[in-house]
Chains A and B, each alone.
Chain A
Amino acid sequence: MIKGSPSFQPFSEKPISLIGENGEWTGSFDLTLDDGELESFYRDLVAARVLDERLVRLQRMGKISFVAPSSGHEGPQVAVARSVRKGRDWLYPYYRDTALVMALGVPVAETVGQMMATRADPNKGRQMPAHAGSKELNVFAVASPIASHIAPAVGTAISMKLQGKGDVVVTTFGEGATSEGDFHAAINFAGAQGAPIVFVCQNNRYAISVGYNRQTAAENIAAKARAYGMPGYTVDGMDPLACYYVIREAVERAREGVGPALVEANVYRYGPHSPADDDTRYRPAEEVESWRKRDPLIRMRRFLEKRGLWDDDQEKKMREEIDEEQRKAVQQAEASGKVPREWMFDDVYSEVPEHLAEQRDSLG
Chain B
Amino acid sequence: MTMQTIVQTIARTLDQEMSQDERVVVMGEDVGKRGGVFLATENLFDKYGPDRVIDTPLSEAAIIGAAVGMAVHGMRPVAEIQFADYVYPGFDQLVSQAAKLRYRSGGQFSAPMVVRMPAGGGVGGGHHHSQNPESHFVHTAGLKVVYPSTPIDTRGLLRTAIRDEDPVVFMEPKRLYRAVKEEIPEDDDTLIPLGQARVRREGDDVVLVSYGGSMGETLKAADELERQDVSAHVIDLRSLMPWDRSTVLEAVARVGRVVLVSEAPRSLGFMSEVSATITEQVLDSLLAPPMRVTGFDIPYPFAYDREYLPGPNRILAAVQQVLDY
A333 CB to nearest chain B CB (Å)? 15
Beyond the given A155-B73, A185-B62, could you list 10 further A-B residue pairs with CB under 8 A, ordered by the A residue number?
Answer: A124-B106, A127-B104, A148-B65, A148-B93, A154-B66, A159-B70, A181-B61, A348-B103, A348-B141, A350-B110
Residues 77 to 99 of chain B near chain A (Cβ within 8 Å): 77, 89, 92-93, 96-97
**Is A342's CB within 8 Å of the partner chain B?**
no
Q: Mark A125-136, 1 if CB is under 8 A from B, else 0.
A: 111000101110
CA distance A152 to B98 in the complex (A): 9
Taking Cβ atoms with an 8 Å cutoff, the residues of A that contact B are 90, 92, 121-127, 131, 133-135, 140-141, 143-145, 148-160, 162, 169, 181-182, 185-186, 188-189, 192, 346-350, 353-355
Q: Does B61 contact A133, Cβ atoms closer than 8 Å? A: no
Q: Does A133 contact B108, Cβ atoms closer than 8 Å? A: yes
- Contact among A90, A121, A143, A350 with B97 in the assembled complex (CB-CB below 8 Å): A143
Q: Mark B46-58, 1 if CB is under 8 A from A, else 0.
A: 0000010010110
Considering the complex, give the chain A residue whose CB is closest to the CB of B103: A347
Q: Does A154 contact B65, Cβ atoms closer than 8 Å? A: yes
Q: Mark B144-164, 1 if CB is under 8 A from A, else 0.
A: 100000000000000000001
Considering the complex, give the chain B residue whose CB is closest to the CB of A343: B106
Considering the complex, give the chain B residue whose CB is closest to the CB of A181: B61
A85 CB to nearest chain B CB (Å)? 15
CB-CB under 8 A from A153, the residues of chain B are 69
CB-CB under 8 A from B101, the residues of chain A are 141
Q: Does B57 contact A353, Cβ atoms closer than 8 Å? A: no
A200 CB to nearest chain B CB (Å)? 17
CB-CB under 8 A from B62, the residues of chain A are 151, 154, 185-186, 188-189
Q: Does A189 contact B57, Cβ atoms closer than 8 Å? A: yes
CA distance A135 to B108 in the complex (A): 6
Q: Does B75 contact A349, Cβ atoms closer than 8 Å? A: no
* B interface SS class: mixed
Q: Does A155 contact B109, Cβ atoms closer than 8 Å? A: no
Considering the complex, give the chain A residue whose CB is closest to the CB of B59: A185
Q: Does B56 contact A135, Cβ atoms closer than 8 Å? A: no
CA distance A236 to B56 in the complex (A): 35
CA distance A253 to B141 in the complex (A): 40
CB-CB under 8 A from B144, the residues of chain A are 349
Considering the complex, give the chain A residue whose CB is closest to the CB of B166: A349
CA distance A159 to B69 in the complex (A): 8
CA distance A161 to B74 in the complex (A): 13
Tally B residues with Cβ within 8 Å of A. Answer: 46
CB-CB under 8 A from A181, the residues of chain B are 61, 89
CB-CB under 8 A from B71, the residues of chain A are 155
CA distance A353 to B77 in the complex (A): 23
Residues 99 to 158 of chain B near chain A (Cβ within 8 Å): 100-110, 141-142, 144
Q: Does A159 contact B75, Cβ atoms closer than 8 Å? A: yes
CB-CB under 8 A from A133, the residues of chain B are 104-106, 108-109
CB-CB under 8 A from B89, the residues of chain A are 181, 185
CA distance A92 to B101 in the complex (A): 13
A-B CB contact pairs (8 Å), 30 listed: A92-B69, A123-B104, A123-B106, A127-B104, A131-B104, A133-B105, A140-B109, A151-B65, A151-B66, A155-B68, A155-B70, A155-B72, A156-B73, A157-B69, A158-B66, A159-B74, A181-B89, A185-B61, A186-B62, A189-B56, A189-B59, A189-B62, A189-B66, A347-B102, A347-B103, A347-B105, A348-B102, A349-B142, A349-B144, A354-B245
CA distance A133 to B110 in the complex (A): 12
CB-CB under 8 A from A192, the residues of chain B are 57
CA distance A148 to B97 in the complex (A): 7
Given A158-B66, A159-B75, A349-B102: A124 and B107 within 8 A (CB)?
A: yes
A334 CB to nearest chain B CB (Å)? 18
Q: Does B242 contact A354, Cβ atoms closer than 8 Å? A: yes
Candidate in B54, B59, B64, B77 with the most chain A CB atoms within 10 angstroms: B59
Given A151-B69, A159-B74: A355 and B242 within 8 A (CB)?
A: yes
CB-CB under 8 A from A350, the residues of chain B are 102, 110, 164-166
Q: Does B72 contact A152, Cβ atoms closer than 8 Å? A: yes
- Contact among B57, B77, B102, B108 with A188 in the assembled complex (CB-CB below 8 Å): B57
Given A141-B101, A348-B141: A152 and B65 within 8 A (CB)?
A: yes
B247 CB to nearest chain A CB (Å)? 13
Considering the complex, give the chain A residue whose CB is closest to the CB of B167: A349
CB-CB under 8 A from A90, the residues of chain B are 73
Q: Does A347 contact B70, Cβ atoms closer than 8 Å? A: no
A262 CB to nearest chain B CB (Å)? 16
CB-CB under 8 A from A349, the residues of chain B are 102, 142, 144, 165-166
CB-CB under 8 A from A125, the residues of chain B are 106
**Is B67's CB within 8 Å of the partner chain A?**
yes
Given A135-B108, A185-B62, A349-B166: A145 and B73 within 8 A (CB)?
A: no
Given A159-B75, A353-B195: A145 and B92 within 8 A (CB)?
A: yes
Q: Does B104 contact A152, Cβ atoms closer than 8 Å? A: no
Given A188-B62, A189-B56: A141 and B165 within 8 A (CB)?
A: no
A344 CB to nearest chain B CB (Å)? 10
Q: Does A186 contact B65, Cβ atoms closer than 8 Å? A: yes
Q: Does B109 contact A135, Cβ atoms closer than 8 Å? A: yes
Q: Does B105 contact A135, Cβ atoms closer than 8 Å? A: yes
Considering the complex, give the chain A residue whose CB is closest to the CB of B98: A152
B87 CB to nearest chain A CB (Å)? 14
